[in-house]
Amino acid sequence: MLKITDLHVAVDGGSKPVLKGLTLEVKPGEVHAIMGPNGSGKSTLSYVLAGRDGYAVTGGSVRFQDADLLELEPEERAAAGIFLAMQYPVEIPGVANNYFLRQSLNALRRARGEPEVSAAEFIKKLKAVAERVGVDPELLKRDVNAGFSGGEKKRNEILQMVMLEPKLCVLDETDSGLDIDALKTVADGVNSLRSPDRGMIVITHYQRLLDYIVPDFVHILADGRIRKTGGKELALALEEQGYEHLLGEAA
């Protein structure tokens, strides 16, 4: 469903290359974990997939379900089924969390030519999902992410993801800032979305998250490229040996 071929991306007005020939294919039903040291380009990859400004694609291609993803605006990518759970979710003062999510859901539905959901239907589903991903019902009424703790923000991202039912989930360091209990609830939420027709990219620093969201593939991203690919055992090896040792071996 997602095919990234030899992707080159630069930042700072195109002067600073970050991704240098990244290739990755995600098929429906697969969960891919991407690990890598700081500055390896993990977050850049997630932003490029979601269509954020300021990332210049200098080479390569990204196809998503037979469309040229790079040609689409961020809202069109969302409508096509891409969801990015952000590392630093943004606060929107004065906009209620539940209102925002309903606007989002209905915007996606309109873009797909589907009818909007009724308020009653929406609230029913929202309550059930909030309970499943451990979001306090009070947070639904508060302003989007305003005054949320780090953990609450991350859980709120997962709440949005489960509500919006994307085809491709991209999780950017969703585990950072979470204690072990929160990590489990978040993982449960993510796992509930695992299905044969949905793909996932889980970006993380730590092997810990992968105990709960068990990936089909683990990739090590370093210096803008995927340097090593393996099964879930690669994450364990990495935890024991460190990037330097593992990549040294690969080199």
CB 158 within 8 A of CB 133: yes
| Cβ proximity to another protein, 41 vs 51, nearer residue | 51
| Cβ proximity to another protein, 40 vs 160, nearer residue | 160
> Per CB under 8 A, which of residues 158..177 are in contact with another protein?
160, 164
> Per CB under 8 A, which of residues 103..132 are in contact with another protein?
103-105, 107-108, 111
CB 20 within 8 A of CB 42: no
The footprint of another protein on this chain (CB under 8 A) covers a number of residues equal to 30
| Cβ proximity to another protein, 145 vs 207, nearer residue | 145
Residues 6+ apart with CB under 8 A from 149: none
Binding of another protein by 139 (CB under 8 A): no
List of E strands, 65-167: 67-68, 82-85, 92-96, 143-144
Candidate residues 33, 84, 169, 186; the one interacting with another protein per rule CB under 8 A: 84
Q: How far is CA 228 from CA 40, 195, 212, in A?
A: 13, 26, 22
Candidate residues 13, 15, 38, 53; the one interacting with another protein per rule CB under 8 A: 53
DSSP annotation of 58: E
State the Cα–Cα distance between residues 189 and 184, nearest whole angstrom. 9
Residues that bind another protein in the complex, under the rule CB under 8 A: 50-53, 73-75, 77-79, 83-84, 86, 89-95, 100, 103-105, 107-108, 111, 143, 160, 164
